[in-house]
Copies of this chain bind each other. A is one copy, B any other.
Amino acid sequence: MIDAERKFREYLSEKGLRFTSERLAILLHVMSLHEHFAVDDLHHQLRQKGLSISHATVFRTLALLIDCGIVQKLPCEKMPARYEHIFGHLHHDHMFCLRCGRIIEFHNAPIERWQQKVAEEHRFQMTGHHLIIRGYCEKCH
């Protein structure tokens, strides 16, 4: 059993929820993906594997995985949201290429620290943040 499964099981158990075969299948597939994906991508890939999991269940399970801290949602303007597993990964932010749609990940410690500082200055209790840099990637200049 992978660590993510253990974490998900504990989360569900604490909430009085059940560990179903659908939830396991979705968890395992999400953990096997190393890109940013849309709900439909995930749904199609599961069906290609021969699993007939409904659209609704994919949405519902992703919500659980987000609440559990295994998955992160990237709100995208003008297109369906993207998701990615973050369990086992360090925090990062994203650049979106407006031409080819490429998503580039980055981490910048000074930005993270200044965010903390700004929040403190406003006596704001930061629980998270969300930084997206829009523009054109190397190939699309």
Binding site for B on A (CB under 8 A): 75, 77, 95, 97-98, 104, 106, 108, 110-111, 114-115, 117-119, 121-138, 141
Contacts and interface: CB of A to CB of B under 8 A. Distances in A.
Contacts of A123: 137-138
A67 to B, nearest CB: 14
Question: Within the oligomer, what is the number of copies of this chain?
Answer: 2
Given A77-B75, A132-B130, A134-B129, A124 B111 contact: no
Nearest to A102: B124
Contact of A95 (B117, B124, B141): B124
A133 B126 contact: yes
The 9 closest A-B pairs by CB, nearest first: A123-B138, A126-B135, A125-B136, A127-B135, A128-B134, A130-B132, A129-B133, A131-B131, A125-B135
